[in-house]
Homo-oligomer: A and B are copies of this chain.
Amino acid sequence: MVDKKTKDWSGCPVRFGMSQFGDKWSFLIIRDLMFKGRQYYHEFIDAGEGISTNILASRLADLENNGIITKRRDPQKGSRYLYRLTKKGVDLMPMMLAMIDWSEKYDSGTEVPKRFIDQLRNNPDQLQQEIIENLSN
């Protein structure tokens, strides 16, 4: 559970954000959903970040409770669930992109494709539109 004690805290927008998605694993799940095309439980597990199954289940439940993702049966294969960003989740994109921009600037080892970072800096609105269109609905 992310920031259980202050779940209902309100007033400061930074603290509100932290209470909604403010831990490492939540950020990585949102990244997977937003930029990597991952949408199944096993894809998050296999992403290679080393998240434990109980923590993944807990974070997915938190994000769902906070209205950032939805969970439903996969119509193609009913034994598994399909996780998707809601509008509220997609609206985190400017923040995620700002973070990517910053990291690309300060981490020499970052691996953002040149085309991505160029477009992020020259035409962020179009980049965002393209990413949104790529999210299956």
Point out residues on A near B: beta carbons under 8 Å. Answer: 3, 10-18, 20, 22-24, 27-28, 31, 49, 67, 88, 91-92, 94-112
Contacts and interface: CB of A to CB of B under 8 A. Distances in A.
A15 B28 contact: yes
A97 B14 CA distance: 9
A117 B116 CA distance: 28
A59 to B, nearest CB: 13
A10 to B, nearest CB: 3
Which of A88, A99, A103, A106 has the most chain B CB atoms closer than 10 A to its own CB? A99
Contacts of A14: 27-28, 31, 96, 99-100, 103
Contacts of A17: 27, 99-100, 102-103
Contacts of A97: 98
